[in-house]
Amino acid sequence: MSVIKLTDLDLKDKRVFIRADLNVPIKDGKVTSDARITASMATIKYCLDRGARVMVTSHLGRPEEGVWSEENSLKPVADNIAERLGKPVRLIKDWVNGGFEVALGELVVLENCRFNKGEKKNDDVTAQSYAKLCDIFVMDAFGTAHRAEASTHGIAKYAPVACAGILLTEELEALTKALHNPARPMVAIVGGSKVSTKLTVLESLSEKVDQLVVGGGIANTFLKAAGKNIGKSLCEDDLIPTAKMLIDKMKQRNATIPIAVDVVVGKKFDANEPAVMKDADAVSDDDMIFDIGPKSAKELADIIMKAGTVVWNGPVGVFEFDQFGAGTHTIAKAIADTKAFTLAGGGDTIAAIQKYDIYDKVSYISTAGGAFLEFLEGKKLPAVEILELRAR
């Protein structure tokens, strides 16, 4: 990635505008999960330590454009950051046209950028107003890099300098290492309920990886494509031909999509539903598949242990219910133990990583969902593309 890096610039006395991803869950005016704030602090602290005048903004929730609302205010985020820095942090409400000063070494939080008219449509006039506020624009929100908005893309066109923050740089380096120059064998684990939502990812990865592990509801469509009875399990019948095509396509280049040999079933989707182990050939018409069985899980763990690179997006079973979580737990443990470079991303994946306590055992955990998937698909991310253009 040929972008200007924040760490290559002189920041002293410069007005620095950071677009971070501080879109965190809030309840009763308090941040309930601050992982994204933690991830954004490296860039914020770096700028403060070098004597910059620092502004940071982010979106939060889905507010109506042009209308301020308390539930989508960044006030709890500003309070959380103030606590971390051990000093007050001002929240500036109407900031688009300036009219506020930032002292040397001070940080201010600019209120939710999605309150601003023209933000989501990447309006030129809005973007130019943003750009006038700063000497250096820092894009650090990988989570929104797949969207061209005024605070992620437009401002980068007009700011005197546009660069990548520390978090964005780390994300891009980890993804590039995993996808463009991977250590082999390369294994991708793609879980989720529907093939349709991950179809382009599966198609793109089927050309790159040595083994493509499908999990969750997606795996049922592949099981059915392989001629197995899947009972009443979640399945997309119209995508069975696509699943067959992907299996054949990978076979032709000596790559594989491992199909489960045993499964864990129940009669209904319920937290108290008993788990029953079955061979993949023995599923009855009223069964629903909720997890892979121990033989299949062991086979996948062996694949992960022999891999050079593992990309993980999505669990392989309904791990929220403990009785259907053994498959995902086995995979998580293998990812923690393998010598491979491991890259994980997506909300459900991070929930599994936290549940099975392997957070510090994964080489890189992406904070993003949509942008992570689009990068896996080989798509250009607009907010990264504009930084590359500005670097030239």
List, by residue number, the catalytic residues.
36, 194, 347, 370
Distant-in-sequence, close-in-space partners of 245: CB < 8 Å, separation ≥ 6 = none
d(CA 367, CA 364): 10
d(CA 44, CA 276): 50
Paired sense of beta strands 15-19 and 136-139, if any: parallel
Residue 130 is encoded by which pair of tokens? Answer: 């943003």
d(CA 89, CA 77): 10
Distant-in-sequence, close-in-space partners of 313: CB < 8 Å, separation ≥ 6 = 188, 189, 190, 191, 192, 198, 201, 344, 345, 346, 349, 372, 373, 376
Q: What is the DSSP string of 253-280?
A: TT-B----SEEEEESS--TTPPPEEEET
d(CA 118, CA 232): 46
Kindly list the distances between the CA atom of residue 123 and the CA atoms of 140, 352, 387, in Å, as whole numbers in the listed order.
20, 38, 18
User: What is residue 286's three-state secondary structure?
Assistant: coil
The C-alpha angle with vertex 211 and arms to 208 and 213, in degrees rounded to 5, equals: 115
Residue 102 is encoded by which pair of tokens? Answer: 């930032």
Q: Are 345 and 223 in contact (CB under 8 A)?
A: no
Q: Are 384 and 176 in contact (CB under 8 A)?
A: no
